[in-house]
Amino acid sequence: MITSPDNTQLKLIRKLQRKKARDETGLFAAEGEDLVEAAEVAGWEAEVLLRSAVGAVTPQGRTPHSDVEPELLDRVSSLGSGSRVVGVYRQRWVQPRGELSVYLHGVGDPGNVGAVIRSAHALCDGPVILGPGCADPFSPKAVRASMGSIFARPPARSGFGDLSGAKVALDARAAIKLGAGPLAVEAPLVLCVGAEREGLPPELAAQADLALAIPLRDGGPESLNAAMAATVGLYELANRMAADV
């Protein structure tokens, strides 16, 4: 039973809220029973697994866990309300692969990065590929927004120029609308999405094999939130690819 705030494991969890500590250790923390269970289901073993001495459901996995005074676990939580279970895991990065994947460029909001990891897990077979300027997918906000999909679908890293497969850019300036007519490219496809408002840099969009604009109403905003745009794009491309089979 851990009763000291100076416990090494508690200090590690607090430290992992900072990107620098995540980069240095190669670790990250996941808070809450849903996320820890998602890790177990995906076969990830925790480096550290702490549970609140009161009220926590015992994790079913193989990793031994330590009990902690609830107040101490609350204090290292990055969530407002505290968590009853916190796991520490080793970060995993994969190679880009799959018939359909998604590349994000300059998407700096961790909630958006995590949400796209969730959407990709639900809609396509490839990972989320993170380009320059993207938020850390292993930050507490991103891990939470992924709803545990970070474990089943770890991210990849790449520059735009190094992507293989046909690049399909979402670009508000494109003449062809998403959903209009057959796709002029063949799988494997990489959907490429930039930040809200800025979008993909024009010089990158110009290098794409196909550029598509999500049809938006006149008089409304000129862009969707980046996670929404990526999800709509994955939905449409996945449907097209399924129809072509």
Residues in contact with a second copy by the rule CB under 8 A: 111, 115, 118-119, 121-125, 145, 147, 149, 152, 179, 196, 214-217, 220-221, 223-225, 227-228, 231-232, 235-236, 238-239, 242
Least distance (Å) from a second copy to the CB of residue 6?
28
Least distance (Å) from a second copy to the CB of residue 185?
19
Least distance (Å) from a second copy to the CB of residue 121?
5
245 Cβ neighbours under 8 A, 6+ residues apart:
none
| Residue 169 CB-density burial (10 A; 0-12 exposed, 13-18 middle, 19+ buried) | buried
Nearer Cβ to a second copy, position 94 or 152? Answer: 152
Nearer Cβ to a second copy, position 82 or 111? Answer: 111
Beta bridge partners of 174: none
Least distance (Å) from a second copy to the CB of residue 38?
9
The CA–CA distances, whole Å, from 241 to 58, 161, 185, 230 equal 42, 24, 11, 16
Least distance (Å) from a second copy to the CB of residue 67?
28
Q: For residue 127, which phi and psi values (nearest 5 degrees)? A: -85, 175
Rounded Cα distance, 77 and 82, in Å: 5
Nearer Cβ to a second copy, position 191 or 238? Answer: 238
Nearer Cβ to a second copy, position 79 or 206? Answer: 79
Nearer Cβ to a second copy, position 73 or 102? Answer: 102
DSSP 144-193: HHTTTHHHHS--EE--GGG--SEEEEE-TT-SEETTSS--SS-SSEEEEE
Amino acid at 178: L
